[in-house]
Structure 1
């Protein structure tokens, strides 16, 4: 018995030690796993989930009672791209919601509302921190797809199959390339539209004009817009109480062009004042309804020839232009034969006729950016894409029903504007050519004021292509207009370099050439039209009245406008020579700033936007950069079948001339007002640190409503903002039932990729 008991005890003791050893081993494993799974400073949350983390707990100095600083290493890309991300939904409160799927029941992710006391990183710093090509960073992160499945929330229901083909598995490589630091450094050397405008100077007389500070925009008439709810300062940005606009024609509502009360009170409409911008005193916060039976747009390039009638249900233009081959209705589609009043054999034939008339125009090489005045449905611009030419087309919102909306639905660049009493919202000396085919613009009246506005925006050495009946008709009125035009163009030193008629169509064209020096202006026998005063800044364009005077050309050898840009496509990535003497927006010499910005956006677009966000780029055609600087984002997309309109805010550094010089185009705008475009006209909007300055003057809610108005259903917005702005934006977008596809956080900066849905509130009228 004793022996037996001793034997059993011998068996039990080792068993106890084995179990204890196993327990210690398991505990050590758990501790090790916890240490290894501590996330780095960069966090990626795919699809519908978001995270707000800036300062992380340190691995070696963990305290349960207070968070510790974790010093991030920008070169530790391999760890960043392979760590599994801890996630929690982003809310308006500082603390995360319960139910976080972190695997640590008693631990909550930290949130930090205050900004770090670090200077924003410049492009130089970003380049230094950018890792060398590492094979590990190019590999998809094995955990990304698994993380996506784990965090899929209510916002994801019903979308998994739709998104199945997205390239999320590559997002691990993409994350190391997402650059979200704000790079802009205050630089008072750069003018802004606010400081260039005479009226703005009068409005803020005695106040310092700082390009990096918010400047109140020029006040528009204090009128109520018709039927639209106004946003007051008391609006809470997180409000989920939305209503539809109930104005007449609300589905096509453009607040600054449809302010009927302001238009009704205009003293005159003789000079098309009623077609110009008259913004409501406060931006509206109602939502534009969808047309009945709205379809996903026809993709480019098929959309150049056909669109869904239900998306732009306007039969008026079909009837009005039925004999001019603009647009025809065929079943549930609108068809565009590629013709027009002047394009009797189609736009392609007409473009070739222009090239034969003046071979020196060299479309697509020498001539890259064209302004198309009175564009109709923009078939001219639509077929210039085949020549590697960008056309900024415009026409008023008038009785020619929705022609700009039709152009944009086709995937062709266009804005709603008019040659009226105010300058076009472009810098001086930027368009390589200006085109006008049968446009109804009386160039010769009022001292040639309208033609002088074209002279302001036309590049020295550029061409004015005029195809209108006075060029080739022999009636008394047309002959008289031609005589007046010859006298006017000679007075402003334009040279008539070609005038011919197409024998196959009977349509004629006259082409004028703008001088490249001031010699002709200084030796004119008559001083009419007069030269502009020296304090009349030619680049001032935001709510500036037109004047009937000639702006002299730059005379300094290194001034902008003296030298024609490098031929396309080299001009896309070549810094303009006149930047050599400038200091850049980010503080470095401007040419170096330009190159760094170009390289930065090439990395971001290639490594993250095109592959890491789940965007189906085959469905993206019309793109807007809401706060462009050098146009680097648009340049990085140049190889894609998209076009980008670069918007330079009126109170930001006036870099728009640089964008034109690199063969791109853009426009000035104040985002506290509505953009001059129809609803549902863009597939993707890009907003890079737009809100901080903007929210000093208007509510974030009003800006989000304008974004919602411009964006097509199922379209995307990429926001790059500070964390506090990301919180506010996300709360608003979730109340609009948008899908949050990804939130990426680094330090105090965030990237938010969201997709608009077709949700609209129920009508209450």
Structure 2
């Protein structure tokens, strides 16, 4: 799966970023298009050269094998994640809505996974120990702020043995300000038992440091000062949803027998391997295997053959009730990517999704999703409305679907006839076309109609 290098200017009419970043070659306007040449603040020789430089610096990083899921903090227009798609690496890029216009909107328009987010006062909406590698190139996050809580949050979502790549001026400049930040970072990473496995500067003078998170408690136990402390054992699921940042080191994951987990199976074997965090129930593995078989058959026999959906025009896909990620796994050979959403009122399966080498987030569908309008080509919802109808109105969820789906995009719903009969007229009122298939699948296609004053 390749990134999209050209996008229509009229889809994201934000020329301000072009002017502000023109010396950094992030994005250029060319006629009716935006073009992304692969430049950036830290990518003086281009993103591909930067990615090769990382591997040369630390050959233990094997793109698309032991490194499959990455978090790119403060991603800009997400060129780092885009260039890694060719290497079988899927990157969750995130950044806030900022003064340079909608960089995340640019990323999604290019067909690169991205989400609006910020490391501020609340935890990121990811499970613990999710990412193989986290990347930050001049991402403007003060990692030592608030006692180091932002870096503690990265430590929470980074898997044991995972890597953090920090490419920023404190790494390779020695002026007073940068030296102060570097010393603070050294103290903080030491307290977290992160070790520096590489630190270097390239031919352009840009440097990076690569840290590795410990995979055992040995270092934690031998710290002279037990600060930050280890977090208490968790008792609630979806624990990162609307939770404040905490001043503690998240505990290392264990399997059903209480043994520390090892590094994930290499990609692509990890997609179908037994996830270490499966529930402890005796039949959990059988349920997981059957779920995988179910989605493989359903996608092949019904979604791809039976339904009138052209995957050739689909790039950004969202599974609104992802379960174990079986729908995304069944589409793995298609030139698209899937944002797996685990609703907060459903079984907490997000760690399993990441263990399979897929990406996702927690969300409450009674609220808006953190993305720009018209950013997804296909929305998939399998029995989503069963729990939602007790807490929020079907109309509100339908309007949110309409907001994030592109004109011409598809909604694919599998649900009870009771829920489909409630949803269908709402979609029709928004001038969608809808088709019912086999009495349980509702296919909706969003049109180009928008309400006007005359519709009131």
TM-score (norm 1): 0.58
Between 1 and 2, higher relative CO (CA 8 Å, sep ≥ 6) is seen in: 1
Describe how 1:295-314 pairs up with structure 2 within 5 A: 301=2, 304-314=4-14
Q: Distance in 2 between matches of 1:640 and 1:496?
A: 38
Q: Distance in 2 between matches of 1:557 and 1:732?
A: 44
Q: Distance in 1 between matches of 2:372 and 2:211?
A: 33
1:570 aligns with 2:269: yes
Q: Which residue of 2 aligns with 1:422?
A: 122
Q: Which residue of 2 aligns with 1:594?
A: 288
Describe how 1:612-691 pairs up with structure 2 within 5 A: 612-691=306-385
1:555 Cα deviation (Å)? Answer: 5.6
1:511 Cα deviation (Å)? Answer: 0.3
1:733 Cα deviation (Å)? Answer: 1.3
1:480 aligns with 2:174: no
Q: Deviation digits for residues 330-360 of structure 1, max 9, x if unmatched? A: 1111111111111111111111111111111
**Which of the residues 229, 232, 237 maps onto 1:533?**
232
1:697 Cα deviation (Å)? Answer: 1.1
In structure 1, list runs of 5 or more residues that go unmatched: 1-299
Q: Which residue of 2 aligns with 1:364?
A: 64
CA, structure 1 residues 611+556, in 2 after alignment: closer, same or farther (shift >3 Å)? closer
Q: Distance in 2 between matches of 1:680 and 1:518?
A: 45
**Which of the residues 378, 402, 409 maps onto 2:109?**
409
Q: Deviation digits for residues 230-278 of structure 1, max 9, x if unmatched? A: xxxxxxxxxxxxxxxxxxxxxxxxxxxxxxxxxxxxxxxxxxxxxxxxx
1:735 Cα deviation (Å)? Answer: 1.4
1:425 Cα deviation (Å)? Answer: 0.5
1:368 Cα deviation (Å)? Answer: 0.5
CA, structure 1 residues 332+429, in 2 after alignment: closer, same or farther (shift >3 Å)? same
1:582 aligns with 2:280: yes
Q: Distance in 2 between matches of 1:447 and 1:702?
A: 40
Q: Distance in 1 between matches of 2:208 and 2:347?
A: 39
1:543 aligns with 2:242: yes
Q: Distance in 2 between matches of 1:345 and 1:763?
A: 51
Does 633-642 or 589-598 show the bigger shift?
589-598
Q: Distance in 2 between matches of 1:392 and 1:561?
A: 26
CA, structure 1 residues 709+419, in 2 after alignment: closer, same or farther (shift >3 Å)? same
**Which of the residues 453, 456, 459 maps onto 2:156?**
456
Q: Distance in 2 between matches of 1:672 and 1:338?
A: 38
Secondary structure of 1:372's partner?
strand
Does structure 1 retain, via aligned residues, the 8 Å contact 2:123–2:242? yes
**Which of the residues 492, 495, 500 maps onto 2:195?**
495
Describe how 1:33-112 pairs up with structure 2 within 5 A: none
Q: Distance in 1 between matches of 2:429 and 2:331?
A: 31
Q: Deviation digits for residues 444-472 of structure 1, max 9, x if unmatched? A: 12211100000001000100011111111
Q: Deviation digits for residues 667-725 of structure 1, max 9, x if unmatched? A: 00000000000000000000000112101111100000000001000000100111011
1:311 Cα deviation (Å)? Answer: 0.6
CA, structure 1 residues 555+667, in 2 after alignment: closer, same or farther (shift >3 Å)? closer
1:626 Cα deviation (Å)? Answer: 0.1
Secondary structure of 1:461's partner?
strand
**Which of the residues 735, 751, 756 maps onto 2:441?**
751
RMSD of Structure 2 on Structure 1 (CA): 1.7
TM-score (norm 2): 0.96
Q: Distance in 2 between matches of 1:559 and 1:664?
A: 25
Aligned pairs, how many? 455
Q: Deviation digits for residues 37-68 of structure 1, max 9, x if unmatched? A: xxxxxxxxxxxxxxxxxxxxxxxxxxxxxxxx
Q: Distance in 1 between matches of 2:409 and 2:110?
A: 16
1:535 Cα deviation (Å)? Answer: 5.5
Does structure 2 retain, via aligned residues, the 8 Å contact 1:369–1:664? yes
Q: Which residue of 2 aligns with 1:103?
A: none
Q: Deviation digits for residues 276-333 of structure 1, max 9, x if unmatched? A: xxxxxxxxxxxxxxxxxxxxxxxx85x6211111111111111111111111111111
Q: Which residue of 2 aligns with 1:719?
A: 413
Does structure 1 retain, via aligned residues, the 8 Å contact 2:237–2:348? no
Q: Which residue of 1 aligns with 2:396?
A: 702
Does structure 2 retain, via aligned residues, the 8 Å contact 1:438–1:467? yes
1:613 Cα deviation (Å)? Answer: 1.0
Q: Deviation digits for residues 407-458 of structure 1, max 9, x if unmatched? A: 0000000000001000000111111111101110000122111000000010
In structure 2, list runs of 5 or more residues that go unmatched: none
Describe how 1:290-329 pairs up with structure 2 within 5 A: 301=2, 304-329=4-29
